[in-house]
Amino acid sequence: MFNGSGVAIVTPFKGAQIDIEAYKKLIAFHLENKTQALIVLGTTGEASTISHNERELLIKTAIEKAGGKIPVIVGTGSNSTEATINYTKEAEQLGADGVLVVTPYYNKATQKGLIAHYTEIAKSTKLPVILYNVPSRTGVNILPETVAELAKVENIIAIKEASGNISQILEVKRLTPNTFKIYSGNDDQVIPIYSCGGHGVISVSANIIPGEMQEMCRAFMEGRVDDALNLQLKYKKLIDCLFIEVNPIPVKAALHEMKYIENQLRLPLTMMEEENFKKLKNEMKAQNII
């Protein structure tokens, strides 16, 4: 799919509507800064609040604006296997390059259930499938043995790992083929996961520092490990500020300060607390982002 920094892109709103012009400007920003992939309709894109017609608009716009220069990967996961299959088929029909599929939330499937769920989804499409493990949100963890079993399915080619458990991620690497890709799902663990045999990051921070996140990845891939680590450390405080409240509340506030989007979210998400916003803004100034 890609090596390096892929952005989990936000969905900008203006009033009750998607701000499609702002969305296009964001995509142009990422193309200019060498972001390696666009991940649309993920957690950061507030996918759970997006209507079916809006989904289609966002996917079509991303594919058109990307122009084949970088892959467009669509978040199609839900807590229903049937619904996920339908979303996946739609993404394929619209021309997506791959899909990102989160574990079924609320249902809390067993490991056997996860294998059945992902296998059925993979069978329904020719697209590459990226597993998405984020137990803090979904309440279920994909165990390394389960990942290894799913890696046997031809078009399940990668995992976005946001468990935060480096030992678990190392075990995933041990159990899966070298062709199976591991992407960091936590921006503060890009370099640690690279050192476990990872291949990059699906990043929230790349919304505001796309060039820097890509340089961090490039430095590691080119063997400039000290440079990569220094960038990870340099932006550690900024990354912490971007997760001081539930994602994507802070990153949208940051993009508003950068004059890219309106600072609007859909309920149940609400505006950033003033004290937290001050911390974020101060760090953005310290890093010369604003």
pLDDT in tens, 129-167: 999 999 999 999 999 999 999 999 999 999 999 999 999
Integer angstrom CA distances of residue 44 from 11, 222, 275 = 8, 29, 22
Which whole number is the average pLDDT over 240-264? 98
pLDDT, residue 51, reads 97
pLDDT in tens, 205-244: 999 999 999 999 999 999 999 999 999 999 999 999 999 9
Distance CA 104, CA 140 (A): 8
Distance CA 266, CA 281 (A): 22
Residues annotated in a binding site: 44, 202
Q: Is residue 282 predicted with pLDDT exceeding 90?
A: yes
pLDDT, residue 1, reads 81
- In this prediction the pTM is 0.96
The answer to whether 4 and 217 have CB atoms below 8 angstroms apart is yes
Domains of the chain (ranges; CATH) run 4-222 (3.20.20.70)
Which percentage of the chain shows pLDDT scores above 70? 100
pLDDT, residue 109, reads 95
Catalytically annotated residues: 132, 160
Which whole number is the average pLDDT over 86-94? 98
pLDDT, residue 67, reads 96
pLDDT in tens, 31-73: 999 999 999 999 999 999 999 999 999 999 999 999 999 999 9
Tokens of 37: 């992939």
Residue with tokens 């399915």: 153
30 CB-contact burial (10 Å; exposed 0-12 / middle 13-18 / buried 19+) = buried
Residues annotated in a binding site for pyruvate: 44, 202
